[in-house]
Structure 1
């Protein structure tokens, strides 16, 4: 039976030591990552989160291994044909040219890396049921090849208990004791990761370990690029913390969008409401408004806790309603475009709509589950001609059978309607003329003459 020992320190923080056998306090210095391995880091799963992790590790100029079971995915990464930012593609190409990055589909290579970072996706079906088979397969591969001295870091957002079930227990069946022979931790990528590494060091990194020594091994590994850590008491606490963060963001985004829509209908300047409420951070957490919840972790995350809760006969009606509200938000944007164009004497069909900013958040290059991409798809389905401008992405971007072009000089598109989706810090809006009509989905571009709030 699992035994957990809580030790109250001088700062009132709980430390958890769990070897699965008996209470055991971690004593001594934090363990160092073994330097005997051929690679410093292996990133497992080269989907959106995995490639971003790969990119971030390549910046540190360590010996990096990128693993994916799909040969076509490896070809996309190596050729620079994935939907990555210009900067990410450039850095990955540079790392490969400098022989600091190796890509492989051979799982035996994973035994040669000091740190294994699992980043596989857990897609959600149309019925909102998470598919854990990619994560199970990846964890199974890792458990079969690991050897003493390695650190396994699970970063995939999943249900509480997954890391213990899929990694810890199988390791113990191999007679490898986590916390002694091998270190196991859960540490998801922070949400809203900036394209700027300098900004990212101020984003706390959530870390939980099977034992305290496991957790501190992960802290030491991430420590060279992270100034702040959000330590939890164990694996399950870390997994649930990530789910709570995603759920809170989902509810907050849905609530903000509802108030924004109400203010638009009631002719109340929502940008002033938003500015005022954000001045009172003692009463509420910071709020932003936009075209919906984006990002892989924050759109997929709520479904893990909803699915797990429903399996135990629990209902989370507030979160369920928020998920539905955010899912409808891109459609609400298109409905707003239709109404504004009608006021201009035009129809959406055959009109030219330009999207400004595709990223999920300002100053990021994250397109995973982007509301901006869904908005473009819905506009295309309605017969509109669509283009985009985002200095992080050159384009074209493929949506179904259609290639949407990016415009470095957005004025060249000749838009009938402009939708401001993401307000990057350095976005230049000076080209917008007095005759252009802009739907402001950020509620920040108050200086534009013909501005219509979303």
Structure 2
């Protein structure tokens, strides 16, 4: 199939789109393509997800059952059978790219996905990688795999990188409304990528090549990581000086230019901000560059859970109690409010550190009924229903994730020590800012 034929299939919505990885990025993208009238096949190795989708059930609280049902009625189907990739005109990869135990990029999910789909690829397709990664991945890793099948990139096969920009739970910026950056291996590849995404998002931002698109994604999140690291460090300094850092930030934010508001917290969470900086620092070493500024921000942010634990110990100490043996309730397990995503959540590390110190720890999170499986942590825990009676049975509570559904009036009236890492409670209520 020629480029012109592919563009025509995309323009007329006759192209069949495959999305690999049906998580927080892939599933909303599937729904958006289905809304636009494309036939979509979703691929995932998790059979539980496949079963849920085919039964019309969502496993993400940011995606409704109704959205799943509507998408399937429009022709969306989910499978773990890679052989169905032979039906596709467009392949979009949205699989995880975590760090390994040495904080080095783990691209095994990306490579295994491409290798599994290679036997079913055909000339004329477009493949888009959306997973966050280091600059050069598309050209150095994906392109050779496709070329091993005899494809000529830009001639009879099209390759682009278009980083995901999902913000789970943000109703103001849906998949359709978030501008889509896209870089192609060649000019023809870029043309195909822009055409594909232009059918489902309001604005596509073309860049000169895949490396530029990959670096754009990293810059966006490193910018946030560095600035959050700055305000986290400022919080520690202000705390020592007896200054409310949130009052300082709010006052500084009144300046109409030259200042962007970032707020401190218990540490970084989610798949992007805690991880993206290390993709660049790892790749930069190949070029003999030490990214000291970025790494310093990472050190500050990774130290915040330990800071919260120390503030918890201080709050207990004022009551004549030690951490060891104390019953502590952690409020919020998700990495951000109003979602059920625990990836890289600082709450998990805080629970781990408190447990190591001998505390008897529980958690309460209305969005997460049971502690999920983790690579490094295993806790047999279920969410505690937050009531005044339940709260009074603990020696201390720590607000880590400020879900809107928490009863803050009730929390403000508690008589137990309360550590607030999100500035959600008035200081006069007796809470300890952290």
1:193 touches 1:200 (CA, 8 Å); kept in 2? no
> 1:139 is paired with a residue of what secondary structure?
helix
1:44 touches 1:120 (CA, 8 Å); kept in 2? yes
Q: Normalized against structure 2, the TM-score is what?
A: 0.83
Task: Say yes or no: does 1:136 pair with 2:84.
Answer: no
1:372 touches 1:421 (CA, 8 Å); kept in 2? yes
Task: Say yes or no: does 1:406 pair with 2:406.
Answer: no
- The separation in 2 between residues aligned to 1:334 and 1:111, in whole angstroms, is 52
- The separation in 1 between residues aligned to 2:137 and 2:14, in whole angstroms, is 30
Task: Say yes or no: does 1:67 pair with 2:43.
Answer: yes
Number of matched pairs: 420
1:270 touches 1:443 (CA, 8 Å); kept in 2? no
Task: Say yes or no: does 1:42 pair with 2:18.
Answer: yes
Instruction: Give the structure 1 partner of residue 26 of structure 2.
Output: 53
Seen in structure 2, the aligned counterparts of structure 1 residues 189 and 412 have a Cα distance that, compared at 3 Å, is farther
Please report how far the alpha carbon of residue 343 of structure 1 lies from its aligned counterpart in structure 2 after TM superposition: 0.9
> 2:274 is paired with a residue of what secondary structure?
helix
Task: Say yes or no: does 1:190 pair with 2:190.
Answer: no
2:97 touches 2:106 (CA, 8 Å); kept in 1? yes
- The separation in 1 between residues aligned to 2:138 and 2:378, in whole angstroms, is 38
1:230-245 correspondence to structure 2 within 5 Å: 230-245=205-220
Instruction: Give the structure 2 partner of residue 430 of structure 1.
Output: 409
Q: Deviations over 1:195-248 (max 9, x none)?
A: 537555554333222345534544444446543444322211010111222322
RMSD, matched Cα? 3.4
Q: Normalized against structure 1, the TM-score is what?
A: 0.80
Please report how far the alpha carbon of residue 365 of structure 1 lies from its aligned counterpart in structure 2 after TM superposition: 3.8
2:39 touches 2:75 (CA, 8 Å); kept in 1? yes
Match of 1:312 among 278, 282, 287: 287
Match of 1:126 among 96, 101, 104: 101
Please report how far the alpha carbon of residue 123 of structure 1 lies from its aligned counterpart in structure 2 after TM superposition: 2.8
Q: Deviations over 1:64-94 (max 9, x none)?
A: 43324x4xx32366359x9954454846874
Instruction: Give the structure 2 partner of residue 446 of structure 1.
Output: 426
1:194 touches 1:200 (CA, 8 Å); kept in 2? no
Task: Say yes or no: does 1:353 pair with 2:328.
Answer: yes
1:315-330 correspondence to structure 2 within 5 Å: 315-330=290-305
- The separation in 2 between residues aligned to 1:160 and 1:64, in whole angstroms, is 29
- The separation in 1 between residues aligned to 2:178 and 2:244, in whole angstroms, is 31
> 2:84 is paired with a residue of what secondary structure?
helix
> 1:261 is paired with a residue of what secondary structure?
helix
> 1:296 is paired with a residue of what secondary structure?
coil
1:365-404 correspondence to structure 2 within 5 Å: 365-397=340-372, 400-404=377-381
- The separation in 1 between residues aligned to 2:9 and 2:101, in whole angstroms, is 44
Please report how far the alpha carbon of residue 301 of structure 1 lies from its aligned counterpart in structure 2 after TM superposition: 1.3
- The separation in 1 between residues aligned to 2:322 and 2:131, in whole angstroms, is 43
Seen in structure 2, the aligned counterparts of structure 1 residues 229 and 314 have a Cα distance that, compared at 3 Å, is same
- The separation in 2 between residues aligned to 1:377 and 1:436, in whole angstroms, is 22
> 1:439 is paired with a residue of what secondary structure?
strand
Q: Deviations over 1:134-188 (max 9, x none)?
A: 3223233344422234331101111211112233344345443444533322122
Seen in structure 2, the aligned counterparts of structure 1 residues 396 and 324 have a Cα distance that, compared at 3 Å, is closer
- The separation in 1 between residues aligned to 2:297 and 2:416, in whole angstroms, is 34
- The separation in 1 between residues aligned to 2:268 and 2:301, in whole angstroms, is 6
Match of 2:399 among 420, 439, 453: 420
Instruction: Give the structure 2 partner of residue 14 of structure 1.
Output: none
Please report how far the alpha carbon of residue 302 of structure 1 lies from its aligned counterpart in structure 2 after TM superposition: 1.4
- The separation in 2 between residues aligned to 1:238 and 1:289, in whole angstroms, is 29
Q: Give the stretch that moved more between structures: 156-165 or 363-372.
A: 363-372
Q: Give the stretch that moved more between structures: 256-265 or 340-349.
A: 340-349
Instruction: Give the structure 1 partner of residue 127 of structure 2.
Output: 152
Seen in structure 2, the aligned counterparts of structure 1 residues 184 and 95 have a Cα distance that, compared at 3 Å, is same
Q: Deviations over 1:399-438 (max 9, x none)?
A: 6442222234343532332222233455431221152432
- The separation in 1 between residues aligned to 2:406 and 2:204, in whole angstroms, is 31
Instruction: Give the structure 2 partner of residue 267 of structure 1.
Output: 242
Please report how far the alpha carbon of residue 363 of structure 1 lies from its aligned counterpart in structure 2 after TM superposition: 4.2
Please report how far the alpha carbon of residue 95 of structure 1 lies from its aligned counterpart in structure 2 after TM superposition: 6.9
Please report how far the alpha carbon of residue 318 of structure 1 lies from its aligned counterpart in structure 2 after TM superposition: 1.2
- The separation in 1 between residues aligned to 2:213 and 2:361, in whole angstroms, is 41
1:439 touches 1:452 (CA, 8 Å); kept in 2? yes
Q: Which runs of 5+ in 2 are unaligned?
A: none
